[in-house]
Amino acid sequence: MNFGKYYIGQDFSEIAESVTEIPVAYYAVMKRTFKDEIIFNANDTTFCDTVWKTVIGVTQGKVYKISLQTPGKLYPVAGNLIWNKVFSLLNEELSNFTDQQRVGNAFLTTWVTTWGNVVLNSTSLSDEIETSSSPEEVIDITVTGRFAFNNAKSNTNGGCMSTLLILAGLTISISVLFLAFIFKLLI
């Protein structure tokens, strides 16, 4: 499945010219999952007729994670419409979701597939960092490829592998939201 021009397992050479590595200090927040992992800011991506900020993780010379995030201020009224559109497309393409849960003020929906997992995260950023009277809705899609975890799979059973993929996706999603929070404080 493509997310804009990006997909899991894509050779890094196909996108190398259009991405920039995150600053070294950001690795303290966006921890590497693998020793050789490099995290990149990519060009904005259009997916489901919406423009998304994009972060790409590369290991073994291939894209293994993609994180898309709406710039919430651009879509304040349409947030639910965007979430519904993305949810419908993912459910259609990947079959029914595997899990849904609320964690704090985040609502997470997860699809576990044969090639990896997708986590759709809808979060309201706190009123405390908002300049308007209502919290900002942020929608994040994090895709993680199973191929990168093949070595981990030999040490776990299938159920643990699914849990590992979901946790990796949640960690990435939370890191991106944290960086968005920090960015909002700096502006």
Domain-wise residue ranges, the chain: 12-186
Q: Return the closest-CA partner of residue 109 out of 135, 174, 45, 118.
A: 118
Per residue of the chain (187 residues), give pLDDT as tens. 899 899 999 999 999 999 999 999 988 887 888 889 999 999 999 998 888 999 999 999 999 999 998 865 555 555 578 888 899 999 999 988 888 888 877 788 999 988 999 999 887 655 444 444 455 678 889 899 988 887 544 333 444 444 444 555 555 555 555 555 554 544 4
Q: Return the closest-CA partner of residue 118 out of 138, 136, 93.
A: 93
What distance in Å separates the CA atoms of residue 44 and residue 158, rounded to the nearest whole number? 34
Rounded to two decimals, the pTM is 0.76
